[in-house]
Amino acid sequence: MATRAEQKAKREEEILIAALELFIKKGYASTKTSEISKALNISEGLLFHYFKTKEILLETLVDIALRESDNWADQENLDPIDYFEQVAESVLRCLKEDETGSKFFILIAQMKQSEGIPKHIYEKIKSREQDADKIVEIIKRGQQQGSIRQGDPYALTYLFSNTLQSIAVQYALHSKMPFPEVEWIVDMLRNHRVQS
């Protein structure tokens, strides 16, 4: 029999998943807490027992989504090609292990362009765009070492990150789609002119 803590954690997860589904389907501003509770067949009062406000619910989802990118930031001292392989592998593994993971990519993309989300949550998401500058530096280091192809480092950064984003979105829409190999993704960045 599940303990009270396990039951609470399970209910929180159910609420988060229902909210995530509705936020990406209808948008944060258009989603009512009554719709979230109805989707779970629980009262709004019970919903508020777990998450005091819709804003707290959204912020919890955003924090979960951003937590994974924190893990990638810790790897930035790796060899550039190894870094991109690990990031791509991590994203694909996340998508394969938990199909809800792909929906977090959609949520973050929507939050960057949505009106009506709380300013501090919007700022939290926008602050992560600084992560692109870290990736640009890794690209530049790889270009200097000869492992990363030449070209605008920002364009290569967006090529890589947008490819992963597109894979996640497509997987959210078509969960039976086959995944590309990590090497295919990293090969977009790899300098193929390096002499063996």
In this model, does residue 196 exceed pLDDT 60?
no
DSSP characters over 23-53: HHHH-TTT--HHHHHHHHT--HHHHHHH-SS
Instruction: Give domain 59-186's CATH architecture.
Output: Orthogonal Bundle (1.10)
Q: Measured in Å, how far apart are the chain's first and last C-alpha atoms? A: 60
Residue 140's closest CA among 76, 46, 64? 76
Range in 87-96, 105-114, 125-134, 140-149 with the lowest mean pLDDT: 125-134
Per-residue pLDDT tens digits for 92-117: 988 888 778 888 888 888 888 888 88
Per-domain residue ranges of the chain: 59-186
Mean pLDDT of the chain: 88
pTM (predicted TM-score): 0.79
